[in-house]
Structure 1
Amino acid sequence: MSSKKDIDNNFAAIEPGERRGAPGLSDIARLTGVSKMTVSRVLRGRTGFSEETAQRVLSEARRLGYVPSRLASAFAADRASTLVGVCVPRLTSGLFGNVLDGLDRALSRLGFQMMIGCSNHSQPEEEEWVRHIVSWRPAGVILAGRSHSIGTVQMLSTSGIPVVEMWDLTTSPIDLSVGFSHYDCGVEMARFALQKGRRRAAYLGAHSRSDVMGQSRLEGFAAALEEAGHPLVETEILEDAPSFYAGFYGLEILLARQPALDLVYFHNDEMAIGGLAFCQSRGLRVPEDIGIVGWGGMEAASILPKRLTTTVVPTTGLGKQAAQALVARIRGEPTRRVIAVRTKLIEGETI
């Protein structure tokens, strides 16, 4: 009797010939003189047929270049799905690109495949994506963030599908949480700025929709400054994507309104680098005239003429931990419900 390993090896050697359409089970059945059901059972490594029949079916499948449908097998009643749905806020974000890389590497090694979606920082869009992905009966779902619509939470809670909320840590997850506190990142940066003697700080952010994680960093930053007796002087939130150019023109707007600032905390490193470019274009010395700090640990921030002061997030490692936690949950293995990932404040030369 052919084993599953034998079948996998047989198909690994397939070299498809020229043909107008992909061969199916019915083609193999017709050419071997057996039923379509028998062909299906042979290709799935089942029993109930002779060794001669199995070899004849496998030989014909190899000759035709037949490739079994992994999608169909994922939904077979006797096979567990290997699909994992992953939804992130932005596909253009370098940070989330690294997270997805960590997820993909870990999931692939553990025998799972990703189906990627994007919420565009919109809860309704995330809910619609969840509705579609749940209908596919995936092995698990990974969402970025901890703020979701009521509909999303209800669907996932009642589906029985393992869920990991990653990136923004929550102590009361739908199922599992892997991430860090954006609020604490803001607090840490504010305290560091105060240690450096900065007393007139502002925040410059941007969002095309609702970015609650950036808002959490702002809240932590403002709270720590207020507690120390040096409240946040100004806040500017641009209705734009948090990009290099947004940091450039946003700092111009901010300084036109508050020229005596001695520090600006930016939404992310991209905007902070844009702010550095603006300072250079106007002859402002950094950090002598004004301090510039970012967030995220963008690779370019470490190779600037003056290294940017920022918070580094272990993006690839976070993706790996989220994947491992989800797979442990899928397999019924013990795992912590809340897994905190450490960030690191990097003291550069811009404050």
Structure 2
Amino acid sequence: MNGTDQKDHRRALTLRDVSEASGVSEMTVSRVLRNRGDVSDTTRQRVLETAKALGYVPNKIAGALASQRVNLVAVIVPSLSNLVFPEVLGGISEALEDSGLQPVFGVTNYSAEREEAVLYEMLSWRPSGVIVAGLEHSDAARAMLQNAGIPIVEIMDVDGEPIDSVVGISHRRAGQEMARAIAAAGYSRIGFLGTKMPHDHRARKRMEGFEEALGEAGLALADREFYSGGSALLKGREMTASILARNPDLDFLYYSNDMIGAGGLLYCIEQGFEIPQRIGLAGFNGVDLLDGLPRKLATMDACRRDIGRRAAEIIAGRSETGLVGGERVELTPRLDPGDTIRKA
């Protein structure tokens, strides 16, 4: 990317851009976006549709600051009930502590529509940068990010095309690595248990990578169990009971996260299953909270605090590479077999 492209990439859209694209005056655009003045319904609809398609967000601090920016960093994550994201936010806060920048958090609840609304509101305050979880966005959200004129860092996932910078891990490779470890340990009747699968793209990519690597080993998933609630111990127990009642000869259960995996582990212990000989289990995320379980659940560290720290360093202009925009940082998670995978 040359200097001219970089400059154009960072230019925020203006009222004039919307005016030219919609074919009406800047004053009319301003009236529509401020919901003031006498504007016909047809013109109003055309302006609103044009602004959304372009990704234009009104500037709530226009005229208030010479720089037209505030020292806020918009941080948008899908959940705070999932233990992963508070640790990411901790890494962001630590990296920004003496930078003069202040993170402001928004939560989408894995909803594309909610992400649009949160992003629109945050960008209207003209933050100095945006950190947003994931690479998948609606067309309107992507347009807003592409035309914000500020550094954008998408986090957690590198399996896709970023808008600007990206910091994360390959969830597809994480799934592949877990599948190879399971196959090497001699398991062959394998079930997958996942949460938020329609909307959690990272869990979906892990499952896809998992199935790819199983196929390479001549294996296939024997069963799947999905649900749309939060990541909870009780739900993990219920899902495990359900899948084993349906398929009692399963010898390994791979969970999309550690919390439901821990619930499954407790259920298997209560049922008297020999672990890991009769049945093996593994989760994902490397959550420290689970260290007190009767058995150490096999898992994979998602590098969450490092992801938050590295993303914040890019926004603050302190990245290790010294690049300004367009940075790609892929971290490597570590597989911990714990006590729930047979020794190969």
SS of the residue corresponding to residue 194 of structure 2 reads strand
Whole-Å separation in 2 of the counterparts to 1:74 and 1:313: 43
In the alignment, structure 1 residue 267 sits paired with structure 2 residue 256: yes
Q: Which has the larger radius of gyration?
A: 1
In the alignment, structure 1 residue 140 sits paired with structure 2 residue 135: no
Which of 94, 100, 111 aligns to 1:122? It is 111
Deviation at 1:280, TM superposition (A): 1.8
In the alignment, structure 1 residue 282 sits paired with structure 2 residue 280: no
> In the alignment, what sits opposite 1:314?
303
Deviation at 1:301, TM superposition (A): 3.2
Deviation at 1:307, TM superposition (A): 1.3
> In the alignment, what sits opposite 1:47?
none
Partner AA of 1:248 in structure 2: R
Which of 192, 208, 213 aligns to 2:181? It is 192
Verify the 8 A CA contact 1:180 1:343 in the aligned structure 2: yes
> In the alignment, what sits opposite 1:345?
335
Whole-Å separation in 1 of the counterparts to 2:241 and 2:63: 54
Deviation at 1:241, TM superposition (A): 1.5
> In the alignment, what sits opposite 2:39?
none
SS of the residue corresponding to residue 140 of structure 2 reads helix
Whole-Å separation in 1 of the counterparts to 2:142 and 2:174: 26
In the alignment, structure 1 residue 250 sits paired with structure 2 residue 246: no
Verify the 8 A CA contact 1:187 1:223 in the aligned structure 2: yes
Whole-Å separation in 1 of the counterparts to 2:163 and 2:72: 19
Verify the 8 A CA contact 1:291 1:350 in the aligned structure 2: yes
Whole-Å separation in 2 of the counterparts to 1:172 and 1:270: 30
Verify the 8 A CA contact 1:202 1:235 in the aligned structure 2: yes
RMSD over aligned CA atoms reads: 2.2
Verify the 8 A CA contact 1:74 1:81 in the aligned structure 2: no
SS of the residue corresponding to residue 204 of structure 1 reads strand
Whole-Å separation in 2 of the counterparts to 1:74 and 1:211: 40
Verify the 8 A CA contact 1:162 1:329 in the aligned structure 2: no
> In the alignment, what sits opposite 2:44?
none
Verify the 8 A CA contact 2:74 2:130 in the aligned structure 1: yes
Whole-Å separation in 2 of the counterparts to 1:233 and 1:107: 46
Deviation at 1:128, TM superposition (A): 1.0
Whole-Å separation in 1 of the counterparts to 2:99 and 2:238: 45
Verify the 8 A CA contact 1:74 1:82 in the aligned structure 2: no
Structure with bigger helix share is: 1
SS of the residue corresponding to residue 141 of structure 1 reads strand
Number of matched pairs: 280
Whole-Å separation in 1 of the counterparts to 2:108 and 2:179: 30
Deviation at 1:329, TM superposition (A): 8.3
**Structure 1, unpaired ranges of 5+:** 1-70
Which of 147, 172, 178 aligns to 2:167? It is 178
Partner AA of 1:185 in structure 2: A
Higher RCO (CA 8 Å, separation ≥ 6 residues): 2
> In the alignment, what sits opposite 1:227?
216
Whole-Å separation in 1 of the counterparts to 2:333 and 2:185: 20
SS of the residue corresponding to residue 164 of structure 1 reads strand
Question: TM-score scaled by structure 2?
Answer: 0.77
Whole-Å separation in 2 of the counterparts to 1:187 and 1:207: 20
**Structure 2, unpaired ranges of 5+:** 1-59
Partner AA of 1:197 in structure 2: G
Whole-Å separation in 1 of the counterparts to 2:163 and 2:318: 13
Partner AA of 2:130 in structure 1: V
Partner AA of 1:345 in structure 2: L
Whole-Å separation in 2 of the counterparts to 1:338 and 1:164: 9
- Relative distance call for 1:148 and 1:73 in structure 2 (3 A) is closer
Verify the 8 A CA contact 1:186 1:221 in the aligned structure 2: yes
- Relative distance call for 1:281 and 1:112 in structure 2 (3 A) is same
Deviation at 1:219, TM superposition (A): 0.8
- Relative distance call for 1:143 and 1:74 in structure 2 (3 A) is farther
Partner AA of 1:270 in structure 2: M
Whole-Å separation in 2 of the counterparts to 1:350 and 1:74: 60
Whole-Å separation in 1 of the counterparts to 2:89 and 2:64: 25
Identity of aligned residues (%): 35
- Relative distance call for 1:93 and 1:317 in structure 2 (3 A) is same
Partner AA of 2:296 in structure 1: R
Verify the 8 A CA contact 2:82 2:231 in the aligned structure 1: no
Question: TM-score scaled by structure 1?
Answer: 0.76
